[in-house]
Structure 1
Amino acid sequence: MGTKSSKEKDKEIDIDKLTAADVAELAARLEADDYPSAFESLQDWHILRALAFKGSNLIEPYYHLLDMEAFDEC
């Protein structure tokens, strides 16, 4: 029922292990907005958002990509 395939598990990312270079690469993909599908861009966006909620300073240069409102969960 709720089991993930091995392909889905491979895509899981531990945000605690992301480096500044990883986040820069992710942000570059978001800024270019060149994805085969909207779902792939959402995956990157959710990773960046998770870093923001965690309070990571890695996203500071890319905060504009989140377009978060004052009433958002932050």
Structure 2
Amino acid sequence: MATLSIEQLDVTKLTTTDVAELAIRLEKDDYVNAFEGLSDWHLLRKIAFQRPEMVEPYLYLLDMEAYDEA
């Protein structure tokens, strides 16, 4: 998957292979700097909101918890 900014990426064109590669990078956590990892995390989060079925196997990487703001 080519490196694009999150704003430029069309999530609807991603394949399950693209998402799996993203998850593997996040699992390895072997980035040159923290910003690259954060960018991948935000991308996975964007995919989760727009196409939740694609990231279902990788939700543990997002560490998202339901909470009540009331």
Same-fold call, TM cutoff 0.5: yes
- Count of residue correspondences: 63
Corresponding residue of 1:11: 4
Query: Of the two structures, which has the highest relative contact order with CA contacts closer than 8 Å and spacing of 6 or more?
Result: 2
Give the residue type in structure 2 aligned to 1:65.
Answer: L
- Which TM-score applies when normalising by structure 2? 0.80
- Which TM-score applies when normalising by structure 1? 0.76
- Residue-by-residue CA offset, 1:28-69 (whole Å, 9 max, x unaligned): 000000000110011111111011112431101101000002
The one of 41, 45, 51 aligned to 2:41: 45
Paired-residue identity, %: 59
Where does structure 2 lack aligned partners over 5 or more consecutive residues?
A: none
The one of 64, 68, 71 aligned to 2:67: 71
TM-align CA RMSD: 1.7
Bigger radius of gyration among the two: 1
Q: Distance in 2 between matches of 1:28 and 1:55?
A: 18
Corresponding residue of 1:7: none
Runs of 4+ in 1 over 3 A off after TM superposition: none
Q: Distance in 2 between matches of 1:26 and 1:35?
A: 12
Is the 8 Å Cα contact of residues 11 and 50 (structure 2) preserved in structure 1?
A: no
Where does structure 1 lack aligned partners over 5 or more consecutive residues?
A: 1-9
